[in-house]
Chains A and B, each alone.
Chain A
Amino acid sequence: MDAFLRLLRNKAAVIGMLFVFAMVFAAFVGPAFQQYSYEEEDLDRANNPPTTWDVQKFSEGTGIQLNAADFKKWGGVYWNTKHYLGTDDLGRDMLVRILYGAKISLTVGFLAAVVSLLIGVSVGAVAGYLGGVVDEQIVRLIDTLYSLPYMFFVILLMAIAGRSFYLLFIAIGAVSWLTTARIVRGQVISLKNSEFIEAARSSGTGHFGILAYHLIPNTLGPIIVFFSLLVPRAMLEEAFLSYLGLGVQAPMASWGSLVADAQNYVTIYPWMVVLPGLALTLTLFSLNFIGDGLRDALDPKLRGKQ
């Protein structure tokens, strides 16, 4: 489609897509190439930094015994060759932990966005299509739910119902479907009376058929754009929950929980906090660029202007 070509011309979006692909690849395939597993502890090498100015001074200053053989000097700085991104307080390799966290964070974000999308599209399409009283009531419901401080319910839900992995993305998805529903409903309402729908109806297609095969596929544009912005939002909420201790449970780790674990040591071992945080930020950044690029590419006002 020409929209895809337009997307490719947006440099920021392309870089974003490459980054996300690389991250997904690394997250799911990477650990196979690593020598360490994500839970393998090496207590002799706990709290090792990825780089340091001076191995001696670091050992003296912080009291952590660094194995000088691990570090190679390059460009005036010592690099940790045994654990490229350093280790955490139990001696687990940070690189593997971050990649593992990537897998969890990306999966939860994606699944939560899918749940949100499924609920939102169903409710929005039905509301828009049926119209009348049903539509009115659903809109009223959506508006009421909109003004609820939903973050509380997610937090309450997670604190109360325990922290199963499945509950996590269902909870996040279940509170963020509202805007999707509104968008889909708007689209369906504007398409409801078009001629091709009339044609489908007169050829005998039932309501469900019209919804599933004609209306929803034609609303796919804004839905895709919104989905690409839902994923980073869901990831952010998962990170938020994990940071508060209400997200994924040990031994699973997501980027949010990695930052939370190291939060107390941030002034002493900053790399434990900065590196997962950086990974999360860059991924969100890329996803947002992709979303923006998609929105510009699919925007009918810009069609033919390039």
Chain B
Amino acid sequence: MFRYVLKRLWGGVITLFVVITLSFFMMRLAPGGPFSKDRAYPPEVLRNIEAKYHLDKPVLVQYWIYIKRVVVNFDLGPSTRYSDRSVNELIASGLDFSAKVGAGALLCAVLVGVLSGLLAALNHNKSLDYIPMSLAMVGVSVPDFVLANLLVILFGLQLQILPVAGVDEWQGYILPCVTLGLIYASSIARLTRGGMLEILGQDFIRTARAKGLPKRTVLWKHSLKGGLLPVVSYLGPATAGMLTGSLIVEKVFNIPGLGRFFIDSAINRDYTLAMGSVIVYAVMIIAFNIIVDCLYGVLDPRVTYD
């Protein structure tokens, strides 16, 4: 198992490298640089600024400087747009908000999804099965910005009980987390139902019931672990999605999270900030995928790693 983790970590590092390199050169390929858009600087000032950010050196040298700085110092560099703050600072502040929204969404998604999936599985082919599953079908199809706006209109405009912009108060987190969470809850509900139904139909469950074990024990102790396996493996990409899907949620609810930095920096050609955002996202996605894969092995004793 340990060797497996090492192998995955190594794969993750390589992927990260590919991501950094691709993004780096893609950004450089674009016409225009970080300082070409706004106020025309006198040429001497421009030269000084470019020297400060190493933009006057050949691309490969810039690449090497960047890699060295990131790997050795964990310093993502100064931002070209927000000239008084470093990328590390900006990302830390954005990550603070994005992580909170993401965590809340994850909680909502898992709670709502697993519970409704269980409900559906235990009442197979009865109305308590169809209703949650139909809602789940809607949740899977509806785009996040549509759901976000619907909730805003419903709770913010008509009923006027929840704030719809900004997160100055803790209530401001409710709508964003619920929006993001519900969409993933739909997939989780479907997966839970499918997984539980499959496990509950197996012989060993029938044996347990025949032995006279109380339903509760049969459910919690024996079937839950197996039934939740597909959910666990889905949680990897799902968490990644919640972290990146927050792009939309942050825009709708005006949350100063990472997503805003990412998009704006790509448009403004703020090389360092864009690279920094990409790296942070990529690291989180890779890390979650690895964690989930290891968790999979813990939950299912049949899984072996070679």
1/0 per position for B238-277, CB-CB distance to A under 8 A? 0010001001100110000000001100110000001000
- Among A148, A153, A159, A239, the residue within 8 A (CB) of B143 is A239
Complex alpha-carbon distance, A160 and B156, angstroms: 36
CB under 8 Å from chain B, chain A span 144-177: 144, 147-149, 151-153, 155-157, 159-161
Given contacts A156-B274, A160-B30, A263-B252, contact A284 B141 (CB under 8 A): yes
Which residues of chain A have C-beta atoms less than 8 A from B240's C-beta?
149
**Which stretch from A27-35, A47-55, A123-131, A267-275 is at the chain B interface?**
A267-275
Docked-complex contact B14 and A144, CB < 8 angstroms: yes
Nearest A residue to B164 via CB reads: A267
Interface set, chain B 1-42, CB cutoff 8 A to A: 11-12, 14-15, 18-19, 22-23, 26-27, 29-30
Q: Is there contact, CB below 8 Å, between B266 and A266?
A: no
Chain A interface extent, by class: 35 or more
A190 adjacent to chain B (CB < 8 Å) = no
Judge whether B137 is part of the interface by a CB distance below 8 angstroms: yes
CB under 8 Å from chain A, chain B span 223-241:
240
Q: Are A288 and B244 in contact (CB under 8 A)?
A: no
How many residues of chain B are within 8 Å of chain A by beta carbon?
Answer: 45
Q: CB distance A148 to B18 under 8 Å?
A: yes
Q: Which of A147, A155, A256, A289 contacts B266 (CB 8 A)?
A: A155
A144 vs B281: C-alpha distance when bound (angstroms) = 16
Complex interface: stretch among B44-52, B120-128, B144-152: B144-152
Contact between chains at B156 and A156 (CB < 8 Å): no
Interface majority SS (helix, strand, loop, mixed), chain B: helix
Residues of A within 8 A of B140 (CB): 288
Using CB atoms, name the residue of chain A closest to B269. Answer: A160
Complex contacts, A156 vs chain B, CB 8 Å: 23, 26-27, 266, 274, 278
Chain B CB within 10 A, most for which of A156, A263, A285: A156
Q: Take A236-B143, A281-B141, A281-B142 as given contacts and tell me if A244 and B278 are in contact as well, using a CB distance cutoff of 8 Å.
A: no
Give B residues with C-beta under 8 Å from A.
11-12, 14-15, 18-19, 22-23, 26-27, 29-30, 137-138, 140-146, 149-150, 152-153, 156-157, 164, 240, 244, 247-248, 251-252, 262-263, 266-267, 274, 278, 281-282, 285-286, 289
8 cross-chain pairs, A with B, having the tightest CB-CB distances, nearest first: A277-B146, A160-B30, A159-B266, A285-B141, A284-B141, A273-B149, A270-B153, A281-B142
Please name 15 pairs of A and B residues whose Cβ atoms are closer than 8 Å in the assembled complex, sorted by A: A148-B282, A149-B244, A156-B278, A160-B27, A160-B30, A232-B141, A239-B143, A263-B149, A267-B152, A273-B149, A274-B150, A274-B153, A277-B145, A277-B149, A288-B140
- Partner-B contacts on A (CB < 8 A): 144, 147-149, 151-153, 155-157, 159-161, 232, 236, 239-240, 243-246, 256, 259-260, 263, 266-267, 270, 273-274, 277-278, 280-281, 284-285, 288-289
